[in-house]
Amino acid sequence: MNERDIAKRITQHLNYGANQLDRSVLERLQSARKQALAAHASPQQVFGIAMAGHGDVHSGHHGHHGHLRFWISLAVLLLGLLIAFNWQEINGADPDDVDANLLAGELPVHAFLDSDFNSWLDQSLRH
């Protein structure tokens, strides 16, 4: 059985079911269908970010708003990357730098003392 046969059988079942419905239900369904088609026929402009290849193909032109959205999206992306790199640079300690400072002896004395380690060791030995 191919797709065409399956679609034909589904259509037959749906038509049979539709014929069994009450007339008032059919009228309400027809009214709802007309409203949906009317709403679909007149799309409304909404604000959003356009993705590549998802523009309005039927308009025949790429308006000023399309270019503006592209540049705003690109600026937001670059700003986000810049913030992420700076955040990582400021807050993230490079393990190689810590190791080099430790071996070079450039760390203060309190860096070698870890009081939390001793308490953790005591607790882990108790369990």
Give the CA-trace dihedral at 103, 108, 109, 113, to 10 degrees: -80
Closest CA to 81 of 89, 71, 92: 89
Number of Cβ atoms within 10 Å of the Cβ of 23: 7
pLDDT of residue 49: 61
Each residue's pLDDT tens digit, 12-24 = 988 888 888 888 9
Q: How far apart are the first and last CA of the chain?
A: 66
Write down the residue that tokens 């369990």 correspond to. Answer: 127
Global confidence as pTM: 0.29
Each residue's pLDDT tens digit, 57-89 = 444 445 566 788 889 999 999 999 999 888 877
